[in-house]
Amino acid sequence: MPPQHHAGVWLASGMLLFFLVRRVAGLQRRQIAMCHGTAAGEAARPLSKVHHATVALVPPEECWPPIQEARLELRDRGIYRWPPHINLLYPFAPADEMALALARLAPAAAALPPFELDLDQLGTFGGRRRGVLWAAPSDAAQLGRLVELQAALQAAAPEFDDQQRVGGGGFVPHMTLSHFDSLDEAEAARAALAPRWRPVRFTLGGGAAGQTAVHLMWRDGGSGQFKRAASLPLGVAPDAPLPPLLDPPHCFPQMPEEEEAWVVEARKAAAKGRKGRRRRSPRRSPEERAAVAARTPEEIAAIRAARAAARREADPSA
């Protein structure tokens, strides 16, 4: 075969290889761009909300005994479902969206330094048909750090804004000790417990994962127990690896293994009481119907948000 023919074959083969390499490189660039676009879209899309998931502060377990003793004494119907906790984002993302939520929240938590907390104050809220007894810091600086933490997490996942909207007064950090049928009952329980209550002190974000940290938690449906799906350490390097997502989630070792009969009955009684309090609203007058018809979309949205907040506030499992 003449040398010129070999040269032509090599030239044609080289050009074919060149075009093939360019085509493959182009396909790879488009695939990478599509992957990045998909990842960005996944990171930006709003997440769902369920009431069997939460982001909450949970004290280290060496601090649990006085809290759990008080909850048992007060017959807290949430003692099987909930560990001692302060909700930060509740309701929260379901299990199949936890990985996306973790990727958003971890950098926000990492940017905040650890801080001390003293649960040295007992308080109540509620009304004629509902009461809650809670513990919280009395120190304004500590309360401010909790508010800052909640705001940072909410800014990273703004769809989970319920804790700031409940009651209309912004986020109020508190650890529920028990629920009651009225505010008067909660006040009586506070007066009885206060002389014996000793402050619970710990450092938030200063311990090992699973101890003193903010946790992503979820439970299996309405009757399950909250378990730790991931922990958000505070004060770590911004480029630190993401905390692991636990599958299956881990139980808190000091949580009850079984739900006692009195807890089940207390939950059923509370649910029955909530249903019994639902009454049909009286018929509106012509003037009231005209006022309703004249409401703007903004007013309607505000009314719906207030009603939803009231329903969440009445949820005894929180």
pLDDT in the model for residue 213: 83
CA distance 132 to 182: 8
| Residue from 98, 99, 121, 109 nearest 212 by CA | 109
Q: How many CB atoms lie within 10 A of CB 109?
A: 23
CA distance 235 to 309: 32
What value does the mean pLDDT of the chain take? 81
Distances (CA, A) of 89 to 5, 70, 171, 179, 303: 74, 25, 10, 20, 22
pLDDT per residue over 97-155, tens digit each?
Answer: 999 999 999 999 999 999 999 999 999 999 988 999 999 999 999 999 999 999 999 99
CA distance 276 to 126: 18
CA distance 38 to 217: 27
Residues contacting 267, CB < 8 A, separation 6+: 77, 316
C-beta of residue 89 within 8 angstroms of C-beta of residue 157 = yes
Residues contacting 46, CB < 8 A, separation 6+: 159
CA distance 58 to 83: 7
| Residue from 200, 214, 58, 77 nearest 133 by CA | 77
Residues contacting 309, CB < 8 A, separation 6+: 162, 165, 166, 167, 168
Residues contacting 33, CB < 8 A, separation 6+: none
CA distance 271 to 267: 6
Q: Name the packing angle between helices 3-44 and 98-110 (round to 10°).
A: 80
11: confidence class by pLDDT, cuts 50, 70, 90: very low
Lowest mean per-residue pLDDT among 10-14, 51-55, 89-93, 173-177: 10-14
Phi-psi region of 75 (alpha: psi -120 to 50; beta: other; left: phi over 0): left
| Residue from 219, 252, 243, 257 nearest 60 by CA | 252
pLDDT in the model for residue 275: 58
pLDDT per residue over 20-29, tens digit each?
Answer: 323 433 333 3
Average pLDDT over residues 46-70: 95
CA distance 196 to 120: 11
C-beta of residue 88 within 8 angstroms of C-beta of residue 163 = yes
The single residue listed with the structure tokens 């630190």 is: 240
- Domains of the chain, start order: 42-276 (3.90.1140.10)
Q: Structure pTM?
A: 0.73
Distances (CA, A) of 317 to 86, 116, 223: 12, 27, 10
